[in-house]
Amino acid sequence: MKWTTEDIPSFVAEKQYIDTALVPLLPINFDNSIKQSAAMAEFITVMAAEIERQFHGRMLLTPPFTYLSEEGVQASKERLEHWQQQMKGAEIKHIIFLTADSEWKKVENELDEMLIWMPLVPFENMDSEYKKQIISEQIKQLLPLVVNKWKENP
């Protein structure tokens, strides 16, 4: 389910089936790494949309969690935990964080939820056929991770 007026009513109506939230984590920079920040946003947005398409009926794709890199990963993590509490309060059982920012790897153990870190694939100058192929290859690797998470803890 996407965060749109079209999908949210079905999320509310079918809540007992939709127990997973997918949260993209996007770093924001205005200094030299602004370009990388944009590339990450582009890449993760496409990936998240594709995962949502596969698991439309059980997954809610939330708006991205954005943070300034300068803020420091500890501070971002605290804010993210707040999101997490809110979602748990809304009876969402599984939360999946999707990011290309390697900072999160440092605090992965402190997060209670699943973190999927994907190395950034820059889409610039890539022709669309090749791009599609890359995306579908990546997605193929990701799907079992999600399905296993459900299996372990249904």
Partner 1 sequence: MVSEKNHNVSRRQFLTYTLTGVGGFMAAGMILPMARFAIDPVLQSAGAGDMNAVADVSELTEEPQRFDFSYEQVDGWYTSEVTETAWIYQEGDNITALSPTCTHLGCTVNWNSNESYQNQFFCPCHGGRFEKNGTNVPGTPPTEPLHKYEIEVRDGTVYLGKANPQI
Nearest distance from residue 91's CB to partner 1, in Å? 16
Torsion sign, CA atoms 63, 68, 73, 79? negative
Q: What are phi and psi of 26, to 5 degrees?
A: -120, 120
Beta carbon nearer to partner 1, 109 or 141 = 141
Q: Which two tokens stand for residue 94?
A: 């599984």
Nearest distance from residue 96's CB to partner 1, in Å? 14
Beta carbon nearer to partner 1, 57 or 72 = 57
CA–CA distance, 86 with 115 (Å, rounded to integer): 18
Interface residues with partner 1 (CB under 8 A) are 10, 14, 17-18, 53-59, 128, 132, 136, 143, 146-147, 150
Nearest distance from residue 143's CB to partner 1, in Å? 7
Helix axes 128-152, 34-54, angle to 10 degrees: 60
Nearest distance from residue 132's CB to partner 1, in Å? 7
Beta carbon nearer to partner 1, 17 or 30 = 17
CA–CA distance, 117 with 114 (Å, rounded to integer): 10
Beta carbon nearer to partner 1, 77 or 94 = 94
- What are the percentages of helix, strand and coil residues in the chain, rounded to 5? 50, 15, 30
